[in-house]
Amino acid sequence: MREGSLEAPTRHPIDWENPDYYDEAQLEAELTRVFDICHGCRRCFNLCDSFPILFDLIDESPSGEIDGLDPKTDYKAVVDACTLCDMCFMTKCPYVPPHEWALDVPHLMLRARAVEHRHGETHLADAEFAKTDRNGKLATFLSPLANWATDSGNGLTRTVMEKTAGIDREAWLPPFADTPLDRRGDLDRIDADASAPAVGRKAALYATCFANWNMPGPGEAAVKVLKANGVETRIVYPGCCGMPKLENGDLAAVAEQARSVAAAFAPLIDEGFDVVAVTPSCALMLKFEWPLILPGDPLVAKLAGATFDITEYVVDIAKKEGLAPGMQPLGGDIAIHLPCHSRAQNMGQKGAEMLRLIPDAKVGVVERCSGHGGKWGMFKTNFATALKVGKPAGRAMLKTNAAFMVSECPLAGPHLKQVMEREGGESVPEQVPHPIELLAKAYRL
């Protein structure tokens, strides 16, 4: 037996179709085994709130050990605090596979939520907010009304939302677009530059539910940058990646979505298109989570092999063909927040690499969790914790005093802005956009 491991972490397929996966006694035994190992190690104390909760519960228990906890209540508090960020698995835990103890805390928390979901214990608001395509279709049709109602300055409607749906009245909620990204004919009509270095590349830009229904800025910038570099680009949106439903433990729904979206992309991949996602959580789902949920599906495997994060794709163009000329200096330093789901893709600091391609760009990097955790951080029960967890990242961004602050995660950026505002910094930006929007700005697009 070895004390820890220096090998790259590997993940096992998620055995969600096995009845034993949902056996409560087996789940409790595995939670006890893993939590006892975590208690003896504690390297993960400064990540999300799950581990401090676990360690405090153990330290304050009668025995001071794992046997002093009540699995029915104490374990649930730990599970509920997990945001599935993957950072304990990717960066902290010395006992992940291939170590014989084989710890995978995020996927164990996912299993616990899957058991809760099977028992009908997913909160109604969680389940309804996870229906992103239904919500997006309705809200974009009525976007002025929807955006008026969800604006944090609207004390009337946000108070009602807090009392009925549990959404914190102060939490930033994404606005809805007037026109979904996949219906933007103006972007379709932009021609790829036939003289640019990357002519011959073809990209199917996976709009993702966020860029399609909510904030199209990253998707619009990505289309313009890719076409300026000669890439034949199509906006494609077959449906949500299922991350919000994954957070709820609804693995059957995620698998159904994976099959549907993978089948929609398969003909494009056969035509030579790369699949480029503008949201890191969605790229993570396509590359890594779907193949673990459906390990035997050939279309899911094909899609995983063809998928790039937008920053990863631009850097790939720069290294292989070179970027098109025409970028101008932005006239100030840049601070980039690398969110957990960018880091979990194990592709390096691609957002920072991309920004350094801008002439005269001086780029500072912040690699700390924003604390938002998808829809998790919007709820009243979690918002204060989301601000607390995001405070180190917000403070680090403020210390850079950069003229431009960006985040690869479109939810993390506005949340960090709220954190920075509460810190009282003088350099809080008006927006914290996606880094691809700065590249478009440098190209004067």
pLDDT, one tens digit per residue, over 176-235 is 999 999 999 999 999 999 999 999 999 999 999 999 999 999 999 999 999 999 999 999
> What pLDDT band is residue 423 in, cutting at 50, 70 and 90?
confident
Burial class from Cβ neighbours inside 10 Å (0-12, 13-18, 19+) for residue 25 reads exposed
What pLDDT is attached to residue 256?
Answer: 97
- pLDDT at position 299 is 98
410 found inside a domain: yes
pLDDT of residue 294: 98
Q: How confident is the model at residue 3 (pLDDT cuts 50, 70, 90)?
A: low
Are both 372 and 259 inside the same structural domain?
no
- Verify that 334 and 312 share a domain, yes or no: no
Note whether 332 and 312 are same-domain residues: no
pLDDT of residue 329: 96
- Tell me the per-residue pLDDT of 333-376, one tens digit each, with 9 for 90 and over: 999 999 999 988 888 999 999 999 999 999 999 998 898 888 99
Which CATH number belongs to the domain containing residue 396 in this structure?
A: 3.40.50
Q: Identify whether 9 is part of a domain.
A: no
Judgement on whether residues 133 and 194 belong to the same structural domain of the protein: no
* CA diameter of the chain: 72
2 occurs within a structural domain: no
Q: Is residue 14 part of a domain?
A: no
Check whether residue 251 and residue 344 sit in a common domain: no
Same structural domain for residues 215 and 310?
yes
Residue 4 located in a structural domain: no
Kindly list the distances between the CA atom of residue 126 and the CA atoms of 121, 138, 165, 248, 433, in Å, as whole numbers in the listed order.
Answer: 10, 18, 9, 7, 26
Domain containing 235 equals 181-319
Please check whether residue 13 lies inside any domain of the structure: no
Q: Please say which residue of 284, 319, 354 terminates a domain.
A: 319
188 in the same domain as 313: yes
Q: pLDDT digits over 93-148, tens only?
A: 889 999 999 999 999 999 999 999 999 999 999 999 999 999 999 999 999 999 99
Report field, pTM of the whole predicted structure over 0.75: yes
In a domain, 175, yes or no: no
Residues 101 and 128 in one domain: no
* Peptide bond between residue 13 and the one before it cis (omega within 30 degrees of 0): no
User: How high does pLDDT run on average in the chain?
Assistant: 93
Query: Do 285 and 203 belong to one domain?
Result: yes
Identify whether residues 226 and 295 lie together within a single domain.
yes
In a domain, 5, yes or no: no
Q: How many domains does the chain fold into?
A: 4
Distance CA 165, CA 144 (A): 21
Same domain (yes/no): 193, 228: yes
Which of 299, 319, 339 is at the close of a domain? 319
Shared domain check, 426 and 400: yes
